[in-house]
Each structure stands twice: as C-alpha cells, then as structure tokens.
Amino acid sequence: MPPPHWARFTPLASKAASRWLLRCSAPTSPIGVQTDLAIVAELAELAQERLAIGRQYDLVELAAEFSATLRGELDYRNEAHNADRFRHNFVGSTIVHIPIVYWEYTSARVLTTERIFGLKINDLAGMAAQGIDRKRLARHSMQLILEEIFTFGFFHSDPHPGNFFALPGEVIGAVDFGQVGSLDPSTTRGLVYLLTSLSNRDSTAMVRALEQIGALSRLQNTPALRRDIYRFTERFVDRPLSDLSARETIEALIVLLQRHQISLPGPLATLLKSLVMMEGVGLQLDPNLDVFGIARPYAQKVMLEQIAPNELKGRLLEGGRVLSEAAILVPQQLSDLLERLNDGELIVRTRETELRRLSGALIGAANRLALAIVLAALLLAIGVLSITIGLGNWQGWLPTTLLVLGVASALLLGMLLALALVRGPE
C-alpha cells in the first residue's frame, strides 16, 4: 500500500531501504509494576474507607481504571490493536490519518508503525509558514474527538499536543494509542441527552441524563441537588453557546456533583478529561472555537438514530426479553424473600438520615401513646372519684380540691395531646 505524498518513512536498520519506525519499550519489570499497582489499589481502598475525599472521588474505581490502562501499555500489542481499530474506524476520513502497524515487526516489547512527518499541532509559527489553516485544523480536532465518542464509542484518552501532528490539507496525524476509552450505547445516549438538556437549559432533563450515564443514583436525586442543577442551567440562559467553554462547563458540573458527594464513573471521568484536553488543543489553534456548535450535529445524529424504526424495534425486543425473564424470575425471588423473612434472615439496610427520621417518628408516636394512656387513666380516676364523692356524701374542702385538680390536669394533658397530634411526627 503506497503512502500518501505527505507520509514518509525513515530508515533505521538500513538508511537506504527501511520503511518502518521502531518504538521500543524501556527495560521495565512487569513483576515490579504489578507490585506497584497492587500497592496503589490497597492505598486507594484504605483512603476510600478512612477519608471523605476518597469516598467523594471513588478512588478505588479510579485506581482500577489507572491499573487497567497501565497494564495495557506494558504490552505494545494492545496499542497496536487499538491503532488498527482507530484506523478501521476512520478509513477514508479526510480529517485524520492513523499510521499503519507492521505486525510482522511488532511484538509485546516492540511496536513498528508507519512514521508520519508533520508539525506538532501547537507549532503555530510553523503552520503559519506552511500556510496551514489553523481554524480549519481546530475544527477538525474537535470533529475527531466527537466522531470517536458519538459514532464509534471508542476514543483517544490522551490527546495532548505531543500525540497530534498537523499535516498538509489540515489533516491531523494521530499517534500513541496506549490510552483509550470505551463507551456503551446507553452512556452515549446519556451524553447526548446531557448535551441537549444543557443546550435547552432544561434542569429536569439534565437530572435524567446524569442518571442514565451512571453519575447519579435515585437515592442521590435530592431536592437540594435538583435546586443546584436548576441554578447551574440558569447560568447559561440568554448566553449563546458559542460563548461557552466546554472546560468551564465541565469543571462547574464536577464541582456541583462533588458538593453533593457524587463521583463520576471512571470511564466518564476519562472522557471528560479527553474533551477538556482536546478543546485546549483546539483553542490554541482558534481562540474563537465554538465547541458546542460543532457538537450539535453529532448529538442530533445520535438522537435521530434513537428513533429510527430498526433501533426502536431492537430496543422493544430487548425490553420484551427483559420483561419475560422478570416474569419468570419474580415468583421465585418472592418465594425466596418470604422464606428468608420467615427464617429471620432478612436484613433491612437504610441510610443514617432515614434511620434518624424513622426513629424520631417512632419516639414521637410512643410519646403520644403514653400521653393518651395517662390522660385516659386520669379521666377514669376523676370519674371514680366523682362517683365515690356522690355515693359517700363526702363533705369538706379535700374532695372538692381533688376533683378540681383532677379536672385541671385532664384539661392540661388533653391540650398537650391535641398539640402533639397537630404537630404530627417529628
């Protein structure tokens, strides 16, 4: 396969005939790396258990994501497969070129690929000298990451300027596919809903989108969170999307979630980091880059795909399959639940706030019951005392005083009981 006119090859073994670029690993110890990763995992687990910041950021999942990425980078064949996958995804593309992998010269410790000659994507002076359109290149850089996310669900998660080159025709040469991220279709749809809700300043839709992408559970969907999200979306009212920065928007959203002790799933955090990094690259090339304007067509495309007949048919069939399985499993699960309840094995877990609310309600009900019992006993005592005074024809100040005190006490207890009933549970 002949290379395009802007792709050249540099010799290594022989300056006259070599057609490959060798990328060799440093002499690392896999055993030592595995030991280090095990230590990182234990420290993350300890921090998450002992420190509030650990629970807030979900350090265990972040450590697992880091560990999986690093283990993948220890074997260059993984990076080679990633490069082939990207090349297959963007075959025929006019905005990006992915180098060819030469598998006959590639192993776990050596990666051999086509060498691309170009300018570092942040070499502004060099691009000006060669007449490369920086605004067009900036647009291509954002189109690249959006295409990866919304079309393929497979993205380059380390898009710093050193991994991208500016080639003639405003084509981007991408290298280093050791760090990648993947998205399932449900998360991709959730991202589209999140982007759409932000564009429409719809806080209710934004909450549903956060639930779909796995950033928010129903227990975390509190009135305080909904209020803060409403304030968050209000910041963008009457502001054109071209004035918004993806970095500022993402950072503000993360601060909001952290305030409510909500942590993002590892893959989603990696994706947001990649978006911020790629926007930074694009803004270096074009300070007026409209990120949300470029993203809108991709979001609309995914939305249209969700209502396509074949997609609706597939989701309907999948929903029917899930319902049929549930119809079979529910009776057995209900029977198991009743057996555990009968055997006293069922454990009910609740959050501390709910437990306090429940205990307060029980204490309040017990207090009101005790007050009602005392009032009933007092009324009974007054009745007995009245009958005794009438039958015994008692005379003097003592019987009268006892009767007056009894009636007064009954009135006071009745008022307290009425007040407690009006106030309801604590």
Residue that wins the pLDDT comparison between 236 and 223: 223
Q: Looking at residue 10, what is its pLDDT? A: 36
SS3 label, residue 426: coil
Residues 6+ apart with CB under 8 A from 410: 375, 378, 379, 382
Long-range contacts from 96-104, C-beta under 8 angstroms, 24+ separation: 96/140, 96/144, 96/171, 96/172, 96/173, 96/174, 97/4, 97/7, 97/167, 97/171, 97/172, 97/173, 97/174, 98/174, 99/173, 99/175, 100/1, 102/20
Contact 138, 117 (CB under 8 A): no
Q: What is the average per-residue pLDDT within 147-159?
A: 89
- How far, in Å, CA of 137 to CA of 71, rounded? 33
State how far Cα 328 lies from the chain centre: 32
Q: Which amino acid is at 252?
A: A
Residue 63 burial (CB < 10 Å; 0-12/13-18/19+)?
buried
Strand partners, 235: none
Of 142-146, 256-260, 412-416, the range with the lowest mean pLDDT is 412-416
Q: Looking at residue 418, what is its pLDDT? A: 60
Contact 165, 153 (CB under 8 A): no
Q: Looking at residue 19, what is its pLDDT? A: 37
DSSP letter at 109?
Answer: S
- List, in sequence order, the alpha helices (H) in 260-308: 266-285, 291-306
SS3 label, residue 167: strand
In percent, how much of the chain has pLDDT > 70? 62
- How far, in Å, CA of 172 to CA of 158, rounded? 15
- How far, in Å, CA of 410 to CA of 374, rounded? 9
* Residue 192 structure tokens: 């589209």
- How far, in Å, CA of 138 to CA of 291, rounded? 10
Q: Looking at residue 41, what is its pLDDT? A: 83
State pLDDT tens for residues 94-138. 999 999 999 999 998 889 999 888 999 989 999 999 999 999 999
**Mean model confidence pLDDT for the chain:** 75
Residue with tokens 């934004």: 206
Of 162, 167, 161, the residue nearest 119 (C-alpha) = 167
Domain ranges for the chain, please list them. 118-307, 358-423
Of 384, 385, 382, the residue nearest 414 (C-alpha) = 382
Q: What is the average per-residue pLDDT within 80-91?
A: 94
Q: Looking at residue 9, what is its pLDDT? A: 35
- List, in sequence order, the alpha helices (H) in 307-351: 309-343
The pLDDT-based confidence of 18 (bands split at 50, 70, 90) is very low
Contact 87, 100 (CB under 8 A): yes
* Residue 53 structure tokens: 């910041």
Antiparallel, parallel or unpaired: β 171-174 and 96-97: parallel
CA angle 194, 195, 196 (to 5 degrees): 90
State pLDDT tens for residues 155-210. 998 888 889 999 999 999 999 998 888 888 888 888 888 888 877 778 888 888 88
State pLDDT tens for residues 366-385. 666 666 676 666 666 666 66
Strand partners, 218: none
Contact 154, 89 (CB under 8 A): yes
Contact 406, 385 (CB under 8 A): yes
- How far, in Å, CA of 212 to CA of 232, rounded? 19
The pLDDT-based confidence of 283 (bands split at 50, 70, 90) is confident
DSSP letter at 101?
Answer: B
Q: Looking at residue 291, what is its pLDDT? A: 82
Residue that wins the pLDDT comparison between 26 and 55: 55
- How far, in Å, CA of 237 to CA of 226, rounded? 17
